[in-house]
Amino acid sequence: MSTTVLFALTSHADLGRTGEPTGFHLGETVTPWRLLRAAGHRVEFVSVGGGMPPMIGHDPADPAQRAFLGRPDGGGALAVCPRPEEVDPQRYGAVYYVGGHGTMWDFRGHRGLRAIGAAVYENGGVVSAICHGPAALVDLRLAGGTPLVAGKELTAFPDDAEAARGLDTVVPFSLQSALEERGALFRRAPDRQPCVVVSERLVTGQNPQSAAGLGRSLVRLLGPAGAAGGLGDPAAADRPPVTRAARRRAYVPGGPPNRR
162 a catalytic residue: yes
81 a catalytic residue: no
Question: Which one-letter DSSP state was computed for residue 87?
Answer: S
Among 12, 131, 153, 195, the active-site one is: 131
Among 12, 25, 101, 162, the active-site one is: 162
Neighbouring C-beta atoms of residue 19, cutoff 10 Å:
7
Q: What are phi and psi of 196, to 5 degrees?
A: -125, 130
Give the Cα separation of 241 and 258 in Å (integer).
Answer: 24
Q: Which of 209, 51, 55 is closest to 130 using CA atoms?
A: 209
Q: If 0-12 CB within 10 Å is exposed, 13-18 middle and 19+ buried, where does residue 66 land?
A: middle
Q: Which residues pair with 204 in a beta bridge?
A: 129, 197
25 a catalytic residue: no
Long-range contacts of 122-127 (CB under 8 A, 24+ apart): 123/90, 124/201, 125/3, 125/92, 125/93, 125/94, 125/95, 125/201, 126/93, 126/94, 126/95, 126/201, 126/202, 126/203, 126/218, 126/221, 126/222, 127/94, 127/95, 127/97, 127/201, 127/202, 127/203
What is residue 62's three-state secondary structure?
coil
Q: Which of 73, 68, 57, 65 is closest to 131 using CA atoms?
A: 57
Among 101, 132, 153, 195, the active-site one is: 132
Active-site amino acid positions: 131-132, 162
